[in-house]
Amino acid sequence: MTDQTQKSNGPKPDGVARRDVFGLAAGLAASAAASGLARAADAPAAGQHNASGVPGAPEVTDVIPTTSGRVQGLVNAGVHTFKGIRYGRSPVGPLRWMPPQKPEPAAVILDCSDFGAPAMQMATGATAAPETDFGMQMSRVFSTPSDLKIQNEDCLFLNVWTPATDSRKRPVMVWIHGGGFAYGSGGNPVYGMEDLARDHDVCCVNVNHRLNIFGYLNLADLMGETYRSSGTVGMQDLVLALEWARDNIAAFGGDPGNVTIMGQSGGGAKVSILMAMESAKGLFHKASIQSGPGLQVGRPANATKTAKALLDELGVAPGDIKALQAIPAETLVAAAFAAGKKAGPSPIPGMRGGGGGFSFGPIIDGVAITRDPFTPDAPAVSAKIPLLLGYTKDEMTIFMASEPWFGKLTEAELAQRTPLLGPKGAPLIAAWRKIRPDYSPTYLWTAAISAMFAMAGSITLGERKAAQGGAPVYMWNIVWETPVSGGVFKSPHTIEIPFMLDSWRRVPQYVGAGAEPAHMARQIAGCWVAFARTGKPDGPATPHWPPYDATRRATMVFDNRSEVIDDPHPELRKILQG
């Protein structure tokens, strides 16, 4: 056999390497070659993918040529799945904090049967370490505790799911994970896109990229002109991944001329920023921002102060880039947490940052990012891009449910906390009392913060996009409540993801059992796929969905019986915009 097979993953921490059938196959192939039994062929013939001849053995895909080299994955229940495709060179050593570079094409067939390494993570609290039995179950929805075991700077990998590697030119749906700019990966179970590809005949991609101090550390004023864009390299990674899709996705049955980028929470902010980046122009054609409206990015001066605090914690002098690059990744993360702790906690109870008191995120660097995404207006570079935009009813419950006060807050304690929300706090809580008279003080508190967190920014972003007039924006709000854990979460941040990605079957501990999750997926995935195909989210299981504007404010409200409501809860909107 003339070809070898290797993992496309980069180096892993000791004892954590992932191995499966491809590693075994490589060993068997080498042995067979030595005894003269190997078949001399570069790739299996079409349809001859179970080389072992054993029923139930993993089926393998065709070998697909890409700019990264030839790749081969597995066929899972009819979906051709390629995990851990390298789209960028390992950003380590002298490439740490540098713009991403395309990889040299591998000379061997790349094993793409398993996910590439997640980026280095900066997660805290129950996100990083489950505190309850239910938290342990949820770690198989959002698998940050597992990501922490195998995190690696060498993280520039993406995943592809497709019904077939043919020439059908299917819509391409690209998912950008959440976790702020601090943690997360495409390998989380809820982000799996296999069922979406199979059920809706679309080509799906999700991606890992640099995060936190590795993706957004502004060294421009501390380490010289070479590092003038170090504060945005995580976003530059995403542009490179989209370039990879443009150059390669046709070989996977996708249409490079019909790419939809989608993201939730931090992923939504990343989509917002991509819509304002000149380097991303032409790489996508539709966008979805979910509970993560990115109106602005950071400023260099504040980011420089944060970077200087990190250097001080490490004892590294400005200008000594070699010393900084020589420090192990784990040491850098520990120092960032230590420096962040000195900066102090969030003043709002229950709000936990991924980087302690510091926020590592993209800035206007004048190179990759030259303006705020949607302030003061919508960016001209994406004027022709249709947009899906929305938020959930109870965003903050998923963050606060593990707090000791959750479910126990008294009216007196609510009154004591309300001033922390500023002048809009008391009016918001009063408005929510009228809208949801059944809400306890705990849920009034979380509802007020939820409205400030995602509803306010989504409305502002939607207004600015609609006013631009170049392409429609479609607003949504999900009020369906998950029944799990006694209904404690109601309509939390992230709840639309298992429905729009059609991954709901894989996370019953989050969406519950019975007919309702399937029905919600038919509605929501149906709308997202219709949008990816046509630019209009008129799905087969929902009513006609008109565009949003500042006059009618048509909003799709997702529930067991979804409906379009004009300007839902105007009293909240007026307070938020006051």
Residue 349 included in any domain: no
Residue 524 included in any domain: no
Set 68, 143, 265, 382: catalytic member: 265
Same domain, 227 and 99: yes
Same domain, 9 and 155: yes
Confidence of residue 419 (pLDDT cuts 50, 70, 90): very high
pLDDT of residue 57: 86
Write out the DSSP string of 87-135: -S----GGGTTS---PPPPPSSEEE-BSPPPPPP----HHHHS--SHHH
pLDDT of residue 494: 97
Last residue of a domain, one of 246, 272, 300: 300
| Domains in the chain, number | 2
Last residue of a domain, one of 300, 319, 345: 300
Write out the DSSP string of 477-509: EE-----HHHHTTSSBTTTTHHHHTT-GGG-HH
Question: Please, what's the b/e burial string for 478-505 (b: 16 or more CB within 10 A of its CB; e: otherwise)?
Answer: bbbbbebbeebbbbbbbbbbbbbbbbbe
pLDDT of residue 347: 58
Q: State percent of the chain over pLDDT 90.
A: 83
Residues 233-254: what's their mean pLDDT? 98
Residue 69 included in any domain: yes
Last residue of a domain, one of 278, 300, 322: 300
Q: What is the pTM assigned to this prediction?
A: 0.90
pLDDT of residue 18: 34
Strands 203-207 and 109-111 turn out to be unpaired
Confidence of residue 349 (pLDDT cuts 50, 70, 90): low
- Helix count (H) and strand count (E) of the chain? 22, 16
Same domain, 555 and 441: yes
User: Which residues are within 8 A (CB) of 363 and not within 5 positions of it... i.e. 6 or more apart?
Assistant: 216, 218, 231, 232, 297, 298, 299, 300, 303, 369
pLDDT of residue 179: 95
Same domain, 279 and 399: no
Same domain, 396 and 289: no
Residue 487 included in any domain: yes
User: Which residues are within 8 A (CB) of 47 and not within 5 positions of it... i.e. 6 or more apart?
Assistant: none
Residues 202-226: what's their mean pLDDT? 98
Among 535, 551, 386, smallest CA distance to 472 is for 386
Residue 128 included in any domain: yes
pLDDT of residue 346: 58
Residue 145 included in any domain: yes
Give the residue with greater pLDDT, 342 vs 354: 342
Residue 520 three-state SS? helix
Residues 157-171: what's their mean pLDDT? 97
pLDDT of residue 358: 66
Confidence of residue 198 (pLDDT cuts 50, 70, 90): very high
pLDDT of residue 187: 96
pLDDT of residue 465: 98
pLDDT, tens only, 483-524: 999 999 999 999 999 999 999 999 999 999 999 999 999 999
pLDDT, tens only, 321-334: 999 999 999 999 99
Most distant CA atoms of the chain, gap in Å = 81
pLDDT of residue 350: 52
Q: Are 193 and 223 in contact (CB under 8 A)?
A: no
**What does the CA dihedral 500, 505, 508, 511 come to, rounded to 10 degrees?**
20
As to burial, measured by CB atoms within 10 angstroms (0-12 exposed, 13-18 middle, 19+ buried), residue 438 is exposed
Q: Are 158 and 241 in contact (CB under 8 A)?
A: yes
Same domain, 264 and 139: yes
Same domain, 114 and 242: yes
- Rounded to the nearest integer, the mean pLDDT of the chain is 90
pLDDT of residue 345: 64
pLDDT of residue 459: 98
pLDDT of residue 45: 36
**113 given a catalytic annotation:** no
Residues 128-135: what's their mean pLDDT? 88
Among 73, 71, 80, smallest CA distance to 103 is for 71
Domain of 197: which CATH number? 3.40.50.1820
Is pLDDT of 478 > 90? Answer: yes
Q: Which residues constitute the domain of residue 73?
A: 5-300
Whole-angstrom distance, CA of residue 417 vs CA of residue 434: 20
Residues 193-211: what's their mean pLDDT? 98
Same domain, 289 and 420: no
Is pLDDT of 5 > 50? Answer: no
Give the residue with greater pLDDT, 108 vs 132: 108
Whole-angstrom distance, CA of residue 231 vs CA of residue 155: 17
Strands 387-392 and 286-290 turn out to be parallel
Among 335, 332, 94, 320, smallest CA distance to 223 is for 320
Whole-angstrom distance, CA of residue 359 vs CA of residue 96: 19
Same domain, 417 and 514: yes
pLDDT, tens only, 456-474: 999 999 999 999 999 999 9
Residue 351 included in any domain: no
Is pLDDT of 125 > 60? Answer: yes
Same domain, 42 and 159: yes
Residues 355-361: what's their mean pLDDT? 67
The DSSP 8-state label assigned to residue 187 in this structure reads T
Residue 527 included in any domain: no
